[in-house]
Structure 1
Amino acid sequence: MKSSSSATSLATAPLSEPLRLGSLTLRNRVFMAALTRNRSVPTNYYQQRAKSAGLIISEGVLITPQGTEWPHAPGIWSREQIAGWKKITDAVHKEGSFIFAQLWHLGRVSHPDAPEQIASGVPVYAPSAIAARGGNFRFLPGEPGYVTPTAIDDPTTLLDLFEQAAINAKNAGFDGVELHGANGYLIQQFLDSTSNKRTDSWGGSVANRARFGLLALQRLIRVFGKDRVGIKLNPTGGYNDMGMPLEETIETYSYFISRADKLGIAYIDLVRYVDMLDPVIDGAKRGTPHDILATYGSLIKHAQVFSNGGFTGEEAAATVKAGQASGIFFGIPWITHPDLAQRLQLGRPLDNEIDFTTLYGKYYAPEAEQRKGYVDYPAADYSDLELKKSSKRLSMGNRVLNLLRRSH
C-alpha cells in the first residue's frame, strides 16, 4: 500500500533540516553524490539539481591527463577547464546550493593506449606493479582490460598534483573539495594491502599504507582550510578489484578514519556495501560486506558523518534521525529526478524510470544527443501546491475584507 504524500513527507522530515558544515549552512541533508557519466559537454545538469540539493559533489574531476575508461570525463589542470567549471559553480551558487569538486586520480585503472594517457607522456602509475583484474575500455579496439602499472618511485609527485588541483578548484569557485578515496582508485590503492605491496615508508604496515591518503588530505587542507575538505571512503570494497579480509579491512579503515578525523576535516562519507559495485572476479565477489556506520561511526569525533549507497528517502531520514549520519548522499535518484530533495520534502513519488541505454552517453556523440537521458528528466507536478497557496491567499484576503467591512 502506497503512503500518502503527507505521510511520506513526515517520514522524510529529518532530511529537510538545515545543517552546518564548517562555515557553510546547507539548506537540507539531501546531498548529490559524484556521478561519472561521460558528459563533459555544455548542459545545465548541475544547475537543474542545485535548485533543491543541500550539497553537490561534482563528478570525478581528473587531476592530471589519464587513460580513463570514460571519454568526456572532466579534468581541472588547464585554464580552459578552470573557466568551464567557473560557469558551473556560478550557476550552482545562483540557485542557492554549494558544490565541492571530487578530486580523482585513477592510478592503476588507467590505460596506456587511451588518447589522454598518450597525451600525458607518463606511464600508468600505481603504488605497486600489480594489475587490477577486469577492466573494460569500450572506446578502444578489441577488449582491453587493465594493464600492469608502473610503481611510482616518489609518491610526493602525485601529492603535488592533488594540491595543484585544489588550487585550481578554488580558482574555479568550488566551495570545497572531496578526496576520492573509494572504488579502487589511487587513494584506495595505497590503502589496500592487495594493491600496495611496497616495502618502503609508503607500504607494509597500516600506518604506512594510510600515509598517502592522509598526506593528500593535508595538501587539500593547505589550500581550502580543514572545514572545506571531505573524503569519500568505501571500506566494503569490491569495485576495481579491491578488498582485504574483513579483520584487516576493519583494522585499516579504523586507523585511517581516526587519523583523518583528527585532521579536523568537514566530513567523512562512508559508502555502504552495494552489490552491483562488487563484481564477480574469478568466480567470486571481491568485497567485504559489513555495517560501516556501526563499525566506524563512533570513531568520528569531529567531522560530520555522511553516508551513501542505495538509501531510500525513508531509510535516509531514519538514519539521520537516529544520529548515525548527519546527511545522506544519493546517486541514481538524482540522475532521474532533478528535483529529488523537493520530492522527498513534499512526499512526491520517485517515478521517473532510468534510461539505461543513455546512462553513460554515446562516446563522442554530438552535443544534442549527449543531452538525452541527462537533462531531460521531468520535475514533479507541484501545481496543487500553487492552488493551495492561491486558496490560502484568497482566504486571507477574504478575512481582511470582512474585517474592513465590519469596521465601516
Structure 2
Amino acid sequence: MTDVRNRFGPQWASIVCYKGLVQSNVCPTSTMSSLFTPLKLGSITISNRIGMSALTRNRSSATVPNEVMLEYYFQRAKGGAGFIISEGTLITRQGTEWQAAPGVWNDAQVAGWKKITNAVHGAGSKMYCQVWHLGRVSHPDAPEQIAAGEPVYAPSAISARGGKFRFLPGKPGYVKPTELPDPTVIIEQFKQAAIHAKEAGFDGVELHGANGYIVHQFLDSSSNQRTDKWGGSPENRARFALETLKALIEVYGPDVSIKLSPEQAGGYNDMGMPLQETIDTYGCLLSEADKLGLAYVTLVRYAESTDVEYDGKKRATKHDVVGTFKPFLKNTPLFVNAGVTPEEAEELVSNGTAAGVFFGLPMVTHPDVGNRIRQGKPLDNAPDFVHLYGAEGVDPAIGYVDYPAATST
C-alpha cells in the first residue's frame, strides 16, 4: 500500500484545501461562462474547458483495464468533465512502482480500454490516452521488468535519488540504469502504443513529458549526459521529445499533445536544471513543437507538494511556468495544470491565458466536478488518502468510485 501522506508529507494540506476552496466550503458563484464553451482540439470538439488530468490510481488487473476502472472514468465523464486524459498508460513492460498501472501494449489491454472509451463517449466526453515510459525510475527486479527481458533503460547511466518499490523485498529505491543504445527503439514503442490506443477508441494521445519519466529525462541535463545527437545542447536534448511527437502524429494526425513540467515537476524523481538552462531547453522544445500542429500543450505549474528535498535542499527550479513559456506557443492551445481552482480556471480561460484547464485531486475526490462548478456547488469531499492508490486485499472500489456526487436540488 502507498500512503500518500508518507510520500508527500504535510504539504498535502495545501492541496486538500484547494487554495482555501474546501475551507470556505463553497464554489465561486460567479457565472462560469468561459469554462462552459466548446473548444476544438485537433479533429475533435470538447463540450467544455474542464479536463480531467492523468491520475495514477493503481487499479488495473495485472496491467489490463477492468470494470472498476470503467466505472471510475464513466462517473467523471457523466459528471461534466468535457475532456478526460487516461492515467499514465505504459507502452511496454516496465518495472514500475505502480504494480497495477495499466498498459496499452497487448490485445487484452486494448479490449479493456475500448470498453472505457465507449462509456466515456456515451456520456458525452472525449478521451486521450497518456502514453508513458518510465525510463530510469523502473526497477530491474519488478515482475513486469523481468517478464520484459530487458534492462532498465535511460538516456544516460545515471541513477535518480529516491524511490521506494514497496512490493519488492527491502523496499529498494532507484538503481543505476543502462544507457539506451538506440533511442529510436523507444520512439517506435511509443508509435506502436498510439496504434493500439487508436484501436482502443481513444480520441488522441498525450505524450507524458513530465514528472521525471523518460521524455523528461532526455530533456534534463542532470539525467541526460549523452555526447551523441540525443544529448548536450538544448536542441539535442529536445530531439527525443520532438521525434516522438512526430511518430505519434504519423498515427493520430493533429490529435497529439504533450504534458510538460518545466519547473522540473517540483524536483519529483530527482529532476532539475538551472533556470536559464530550463528556459533555453523548454523554449527550444516548445518553439519546435508549436510548428507540428499539436492539439494542445499542457504546462504543469509549480506545486510545493511535489517539491522534493535532497540533501536539505528543495529540488525544483521554481518560476512562473505559464508566464515564461506561453509566449513560445504561437499556434498551439495551452492547458494549465496544478492547483487550479474553479474561479481561477474561469479567469485563465476568459482572459486568454489558457484554452482550458486540468483538475487533478478534485477529480479524484469528486465524480462530478464539471456539474458542481456549473451549479455553484462546493467541492467538499474529503480525500481518502489511505486508499488513494488502492491497498492490498481491499476492495479496489474504496477510495476510487465511492466518492459521492452532489445531491440534486
The alignment's TM-score, normalised by the length of structure 2, stands at 0.90
Contact 2:366 2:379 in 1 (8 A): yes
The aligned counterpart of 1:38 is 58
The aligned counterpart of 2:123 is 95
The aligned counterpart of 1:57 is 85
Contact 2:96 2:138 in 1 (8 A): yes
Aligned pair partner of 2:398 in 372, 381, 385: 372
Stretches of 4+ moved more than 6 A in 1? 1-5
Q: Give CA-to-partner distance per residue, 1:49-97, whole Å, 9 cap, x none.
A: 0111110000000000000000110001111110110000000000010
The alignment's TM-score, normalised by the length of structure 1, stands at 0.90
Deviation at 1:13, TM superposition (A): 3.0
Contact 1:9 1:345 in 2 (8 A): no
The aligned counterpart of 2:346 is 317
Contact 2:50 2:81 in 1 (8 A): yes
The aligned counterpart of 1:173 is 201
**What is the identity, as a one-letter code, of the residue corresponding to 1:28?**
N
**What is the identity, as a one-letter code, of the residue corresponding to 1:30?**
I
1:121 and 1:343 map into 2 onto residues whose CA distance is 47
Q: Does 1:143 align with 2:179?
A: no
2:313 and 2:73 map into 1 onto residues whose CA distance is 37
Query: SS at 1:8's partner residue?
Result: coil
Query: SS at 1:14's partner residue?
Result: coil
Aligned pair partner of 1:361 in 378, 381, 390: 390
Q: Give CA-to-partner distance per residue, 1:199-234, whole Å, 9 cap, x none.
A: 001100111100000000000000000x20010000
Deviation at 1:9, TM superposition (A): 3.9
The aligned counterpart of 1:116 is 144
The aligned counterpart of 2:48 is 28
The aligned counterpart of 1:188 is 216
Q: Which has the higher contact order (CA 8 A, sep 6+)?
A: 2
Aligned pair partner of 2:283 in 240, 248, 254: 254
The aligned counterpart of 1:351 is 380
Q: Give CA-to-partner distance per residue, 1:355-374, whole Å, 9 cap, x none.
A: 101101014x36xx111010
Contact 2:92 2:189 in 1 (8 A): yes
Deviation at 1:22, TM superposition (A): 2.0
The aligned counterpart of 1:228 is 255
Q: Does 1:328 align with 2:357?
A: yes
Q: How has the CA–CA distance of structure 1 residues 14 and 145 changed in structure 2, closer, same or farther, with 3 Å as cutoff? A: same
The aligned counterpart of 1:240 is 269
List gaps (5 residues or longer) in structure 2. 1-20, 61-65
Query: SS at 1:333's partner residue?
Result: helix
Contact 1:261 1:303 in 2 (8 A): yes
Deviation at 1:11, TM superposition (A): 4.7
**What is the identity, as a one-letter code, of the residue corresponding to 2:303?**
V
List gaps (5 residues or longer) in structure 1. 385-408
The aligned counterpart of 1:130 is 158
Deviation at 1:235, TM superposition (A): 0.2
Q: Give CA-to-partner distance per residue, 1:161-197, whole Å, 9 cap, x none.
A: 0000000000000000000000000000001000000
Aligned pair partner of 2:309 in 280, 285, 291: 280
1:3 and 1:272 map into 2 onto residues whose CA distance is 24
2:310 and 2:150 map into 1 onto residues whose CA distance is 29
Q: Give CA-to-partner distance per residue, 1:264-286, whole Å, 9 cap, x none.
A: 11100000001111111121111
Aligned pair partner of 2:188 in 155, 160, 165: 160
Instruction: Report the structure, 1 or 2, having the larger helix content.
Output: 1
Q: Does 1:83 align with 2:105?
A: no
Contact 1:307 1:328 in 2 (8 A): yes
Number of residues of Structure 1 aligned to a counterpart in Structure 2: 378
**What is the identity, as a one-letter code, of the residue corresponding to 1:191?**
L
1:34 and 1:287 map into 2 onto residues whose CA distance is 21
Deviation at 1:23, TM superposition (A): 2.2
Contact 1:11 1:314 in 2 (8 A): no
Alignment of 1:279-298 (within 5 A): 279-298=308-327
**What is the identity, as a one-letter code, of the residue corresponding to 1:317?**
E
2:320 and 2:396 map into 1 onto residues whose CA distance is 38
Query: SS at 2:87's partner residue?
Result: strand
